[in-house]
DNA sequence: CTTGACCCTGCCGCGACGTCAACGTCTCTA
DNA sequence: TAGAGACGTTGACGTCGCGGCAGGGTCAAG
């Protein structure tokens, strides 16, 4: 038999056979005078064995190990491990499909705000138009949401829920506008403490508390980098006073 | 923000961020004087969006398409296709695990004779020791079995079943020995027609018939290549007479 | 003599990064 | 001020199981 025949017999390509030779999974057969490989039935049997193992999902390295490590006992371990691996994959795919189903069921899957649905609702209630600080806020909130574990995410959304209240939402555009006005101001600007007071008045107490704990401060630091000095000063006032 | 901070924020490696830049999934930010990339919060948001999409299972190419092809409608298609794909994978893995379970349940998983269990039983009943022709036969049968679809496989095994009958099995060693003796003989050797007759006497009629149909002849041709001329002649007698 | 069907070796490509290498830059500390 | 260690930069190779191609040689039939 020549290589094409062998390959057809077992149902692989000639490229595959040569690949197995290259990796040493299959011994190189004797050559004919013209350099062609000459196979015998036993080679086909060996090839078929390799194929069966790969089709079970073994990697070529694993196949080599199994073939080397004579018969049976190692194979059993590998197969069991493989099964466990497949079980994990099944589970992972199932979870993945659940997530997909949730997204698809939500009507319009918007990866832009592929934040948790509750947060999305809050964000929709916040004003954005034309205010850089408001846009920053949205970005920040989205980021916190995507990075958090589900449990934290729920707590976080709960913190923000009050902002969706119409009374509060109505006061936000003015506050954002005043924050925008401080973009190029000096941190000692007299408007800073006034705005901080008005903000503290408007925001829920729990949210203010969260801004004072270490995790909240980290995020505020992040946010402050993108703000002007006076704007950052406002948040320093909010999150703990003087420093 | 510099690249390490950005990466940590979103939960990827810096290598990943640079990879996305390279592919154009994420715009290159402005550089600092020292050549460092300087990121802003919006970059983190963009990166997080890419990440969410990849974590849903989209390829980076698909992510690029979705991001380019503004919002929503294309995404839905991709996600649905993805779900279908995952469903196929689930099914495939399930089938795979079934096969594994069958193998593992069979006690000792022997990939050597990972032929169908029925055939394995038949093969166990056949004599092998020291007979090259018998070994060839086993190889051949194993090969036919592994290449066949399940339905054909059953039919094929059924054909061979009679060989497991003790009366017949008892006569096989002698027949194999006589076939071995013809290894270097001339095709005109008088022992050839005699052995052919004795074999025909011993083998089930259905098997002889199968050897005469085109598929059977192909396999016999294959087998004959590994045999001596006189041995091949025996099978020519069996499978149709003169040619 | 050509055509077409085989065979040979050897190398690039895929996907989503990980992992060097070889180098520059910043910050802290002794 | 010097050195250490943690950052950053670009660039190239490795992964896995082959597919595909380039650039040849071989062989049988028309």
Measuring alpha carbon to C1', the residue closest to nucleotide D27 is: A34
Report the pLDDT value the prediction gives residue B108, as an integer from 0 to 100: 62
Pairwise pLDDT comparison (B149 vs B94), residue with the higher score: B94
Confidence of residue A44 (pLDDT cuts 50, 70, 90): very high
Report the pLDDT value the prediction gives residue B50, as an integer from 0 to 100: 92
Closest CA to A157 of A110, A197, A204: A204
Give the lowest-confidence range in A112-126, A213-227, B29-43: A112-126
Report the pLDDT value the prediction gives residue B204, as an integer from 0 to 100: 84
B40 → closest Cβ in A49, A99, A226: A226
DSSP letter string, chain A: --HHHHHHHHT--HHHHHHHHHHTSS----B-TTS-B---HHHHHHHHHHHHHHHTT--HHHHHHHHHS-SSHHHHHHHHHHHHHHHHHHHHHHHHHHHHHHHHHTSS--GGG-S-HHHHHHHHHS--TT-HHHHHHHHHHHHHHHHS-HHHHHHHHHHHGGGGSHHHHHHHHHHHHHHHHTTTS-TT-THHHHHHHHHHHHS-HHHHHHHHSHHHHHHHHHHHTTS-HHHHHHHHHHHHS--
Using a CB-CB cut-off of 8 Å, the residues of chain B touching A40 are 226
Report, as an integer, the average pLDDT of A33-56.
92
Give the lowest-confidence range in A115-119, A150-154, A220-224, B162-166: A115-119
A56 → closest Cβ in B9, B100, B139: B100
Pairwise pLDDT comparison (B131 vs B6), residue with the higher score: B6
DSSP letter string, B18-70: HHHHHHTSS----B-TTS-B---HHHHHHHHHHHHHHHTT--HHHHHHHHHS-
Round to whole Å and give the CA distance between A226 and A6.
67
- Beta-carbon contacts of B137 under 8 Å, excluding residues fewer than 6 positions away, are B126, B176
Q: Do B140 and A1 touch (CB under 8 A)?
A: no
Q: Do A89 and B93 touch (CB under 8 A)?
A: yes
Mean residue pLDDT across chain B = 83
Pairwise pLDDT comparison (A73 vs A97), residue with the higher score: A97
Using a CB-CB cut-off of 8 Å, the residues of chain B touching A105 are none
**Tens of pLDDT, residues B102-132:** 877 776 665 554 566 677 777 777 766 778 8
Report the pLDDT value the prediction gives residue A50, as an integer from 0 to 100: 92
Q: Is 70 exceeded by the pLDDT of residue A178? A: yes
- Whether B51 sits with its Cβ under 7 A from any strand C atom: the answer reads no
Number of helices and strands in chain B (H, E): 13, 0
Report the pLDDT value the prediction gives residue A113, as an integer from 0 to 100: 47
For B3-68, CATH number? 1.10.1660.10
Report the pLDDT value the prediction gives residue A79, as an integer from 0 to 100: 83
Range with the largest mean pLDDT of A60-69, A137-146, B29-38, B122-131: B29-38
- Whether B19 sits with its Cβ under 7 A from any strand C atom: the answer reads yes
Nucleotides of D under 7 A from a protein CB: 7-10, 16-21, 25-27
Round to whole Å and give the CA distance between B165 and B204.
11
Q: Please, is A214 exposed, middle or buried when counting C-beta atoms within 10 Å of its C-beta (0-12, 13-18, 19+)?
A: exposed
Q: Is 60 exceeded by the pLDDT of residue A114? A: no
Q: Is 90 exceeded by the pLDDT of residue A167? A: no
Report the pLDDT value the prediction gives residue A29, as an integer from 0 to 100: 97
DSSP code of B241? S
- Tell me which H or E stretch contains B231: helix B229-240
Report the pLDDT value the prediction gives residue B3, as an integer from 0 to 100: 97
Name residue, tokens 């403490």: A193
**Tens of pLDDT, residues B182-222:** 888 888 899 998 999 988 888 888 888 888 887 777 778 77
Least Cα separation, residue A71 to chain B (angstroms): 7
Nearest CA in chain B to A141: B45
Distance of CA A183 to the CA centre of its chain: 34
Round to whole Å and give the CA distance between B209 and B232.
18
Distance of CA A15 to the CA centre of its chain: 37
- Beta-carbon contacts of B40 under 8 Å, excluding residues fewer than 6 positions away, are A226, B1, B29
Round to whole Å and give the CA distance between B139 and B134.
9
- Whether A16 sits with its Cβ under 7 A from any strand D atom: the answer reads yes
Domain layout of chain A by residue ranges: 3-68, 70-109, 111-240
Q: Is 50 exceeded by the pLDDT of residue B242? A: no
- Beta-carbon contacts of B233 under 8 Å, excluding residues fewer than 6 positions away, are B187, B189, B192
Report the pLDDT value the prediction gives residue B107, as an integer from 0 to 100: 66
**Tens of pLDDT, residues B125-181:** 776 677 888 888 887 887 887 776 667 777 878 888 888 788 888 888 888 889 989
Range with the largest mean pLDDT of A104-108, A119-123, B139-143: B139-143
- Whether A55 sits with its Cβ under 7 A from any strand D atom: the answer reads no
Å separating the CA of residue A27 from the C1' of nucleotide D25: 24
- Tell me which H or E stretch contains B237: helix B229-240
Nearest CA in chain A to B71: A110
Take residue A238 and report the two structure tokens written for it: 């909010």
Mean residue pLDDT across chain A = 84
Report the pLDDT value the prediction gives residue A243, as an integer from 0 to 100: 45
């Amino acid at each position: 038999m020549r290589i094409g025949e062998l390959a057809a017999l077992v149902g692989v390509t000639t490229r595959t056979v040569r690949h197995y030779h290259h990796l040493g999974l299959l011994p190189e057969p004797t050559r004919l005078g013209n350099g062609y490989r000459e196979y015998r039935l036993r080679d086909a049997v060996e090839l078929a064995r390799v194929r069966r193992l790969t089709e079970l999902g073994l990697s070529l390295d694993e196949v080599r190990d199994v073939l080397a490590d004579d018969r049976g006992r190692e194979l059993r371990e590998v197969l069991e491990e493989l099964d466990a691996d497949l079980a994990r994959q099944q589970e992972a795919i199932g979870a993945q499909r659940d997530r997909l189903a949730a997204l698809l069921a939500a009507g319009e899957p918007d990866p832009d705000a592929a934040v948790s649905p509750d947060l999305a609702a809050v964000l929709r209630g916040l004003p954005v138009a034309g205010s850089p600080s408001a846009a920053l806020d949205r970005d920040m909130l989205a980021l916190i949401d995507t990075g958090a574990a589900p449990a934290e995410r729920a707590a976080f959304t709960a913190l923000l829920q009050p902002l969706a209240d119409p009374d509060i939402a109505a006061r936000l555009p003015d506050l954002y506008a005043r924050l925008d006005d401080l973009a190029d101001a000096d941190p000692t600007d007299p408007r800073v403490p006034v705005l901080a007071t008005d903000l503290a008045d408007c925001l829920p107490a729990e949210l203010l508390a969260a801004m004072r704990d270490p995790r909240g401060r980290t995020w505020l630091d992040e946010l402050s980098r993108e703000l002007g000095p006076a704007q950052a000063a406002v948040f320093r006032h909010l999150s703990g006073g003087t420093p």
